[in-house]
Amino acid sequence: MINRVDPVLGRLPDDDDLPYSFHRLSPKEQAWRGRLMLMTWIVSGNEAYAWSVALADDEPHNTESRELVASVSDQSIIDELARRPLGT
């Protein structure tokens, strides 16, 4: 189960719709990978692609992705989600 209290992770699809591999991640991994998924979904409009990017597990992808996520504020992600509702 993911942390639905988190202001960003709470915007992910319902738990039943999340990939099994996401559920198996530690809370710390879920935090940055969930944000990466939402950021990718906002830009691409493609949920499957966003999950494939967020769950890719190799270097240097992981390091670069963590740095990218750290450079974007939660409020920026929330604001973009308000402008571009997912799944529409």
**Residue 20 predicted with pLDDT over 80:** yes
Q: What is the pLDDT of residue 48?
A: 94
Q: Is residue 33 part of a domain?
A: yes
The predicted pLDDT at position 31 comes to 94
CA distances 61 to 4, 16, 55, 68, 69, Å, are 26, 27, 10, 10, 12
The two tokens of residue 59 are 């270097």
When pLDDT is averaged across residues 16-25 and rounded to a whole number, the result is 92
Residue 10 lies in a domain: no
pTM score over 0.85: yes
How many domains, in total, are found in the chain? Answer: 1
Q: Is the pLDDT of residue 62 over 80?
A: yes
> Does the residue 2 lie in any domain?
no
Which residue range(s) make up the domain with 73?
26-83
Domain annotation covers residue 1:
no
Angle CA(71)–CA(46)–CA(85) in degrees, nearest 5? 75
DSSP per residue over 49-83, as a string? HHHHHHH---TTHHHHHHHHHHTS-HHHHHHHHHH
